[in-house]
Amino acid sequence: MLDRIDGPVILVAHSYGGAVITQAEGTKRSGHLYVVQYTLPDGTSGAYLLYQAEKFHSQVAADVSESEAALLLASQRPMDRLCLTEAPTVAAWKNLPTWQIITTEDLAIPLAEQKFEADRARSRFVEVDASHAVTVSNPGVVAHVIEQAARSLWH
């Protein structure tokens, strides 16, 4: 599908989805935007925290309303165990420009880990005072970073 798109392609992922898009080698793309996630290197696996329902709002989505957090929790798709144990074979971020949104109030992925990942991938990054649910609490920031990434590829 990506091969049918004319022009640069940026894959965007949140959290564990970054491990998925970094495996997209062989498809047409020009960059990656990681929204609060791990940029796993070749052959390593990352940790992913699963929260108890009663802790989800405070730990994952503290900056959204209780009803929005309940909807996020209810709409989470079950994760196959392989998502937690299967190591990626490719680190596409080594060869592509990357951008990251670092969330300073994130209790799911520590700030130091986010900064390490951004530095390791040589990412351009934006810091925002947000929880792990930045796509819900700050959609304008996320959209702006996507737009910046796209504009940089079209020069």
In angstroms, what CA-CA distances link 113 with 36, 37, 67, 100? Answer: 10, 9, 29, 12
The H or E element spanning position 66 is helix 66-75
Q: Say which residues have a Cβ less than 8 Å from residue 16's Cβ, sequence separation at least 6.
A: 37, 38, 46, 48, 79, 83
Structural domain count, the chain: 1
pLDDT at 126: 95
pLDDT at 57: 93
Residues of the chain predicted below pLDDT 70: 1-2, 25-29, 33, 35-51, 77-84, 155
Residue type, 30: S
pLDDT at 5: 75
Identify whether the C-beta of residue 45 lies closer than 8 Å to the C-beta of residue 23: no
pLDDT at 109: 85
Domain around 20? 2-154
pLDDT at 80: 61
CATH code, domain with 56: 3.40.50.1820
